[in-house]
Amino acid sequence: MEEHSLEHLRAINDQLARSNGRVMNFIARLTDRVDELVSASLEHDWSEVRRQSEFLANSGEVYGFAEMSAAARAVCQRIDEQAEPVEIKRQLMKLVGRCGTARADRDSAAG
């Protein structure tokens, strides 16, 4: 029974390590995602802004960044509503801020 429990704990530990690695990889690439978002918004490429925002919304849910996810969904919603570019950019700035907070929180937890 103890051997089975030890194997189970090892499996859980391995799973957590892989999950943490994926989160760290996501965070490491977050700056590039934000750069792509900002660049697309400057070009008024709303389909690309929406695509990137949807990726961040879904990833935020998966990796536990609820505020970032909500901000990204708000950007998608504004685009879907065909809001004025200034309103989309306002929501985008909130998303950029949430991305920065997510990165800072993870950096402080790691260091």
pTM of structure: 0.78
Q: What fold characterizes domain 2-110?
A: Four Helix Bundle (Hemerythrin (Met), subunit A) (1.20.120)
Q: What is the CA angle 93-74-26, rounded to 5?
A: 70
Could you state, in order of their start, the residue ranges of all structural domains in the chain? Answer: 2-110
| Side-chain-side CA neighbours of residue 87 (13 Å) | 10
In this predicted model, what pLDDT tens digit does every residue of 53-109 receive, in sequence order?
Answer: 999 999 999 888 999 999 999 999 999 999 999 999 999 999 999 999 987 876 666
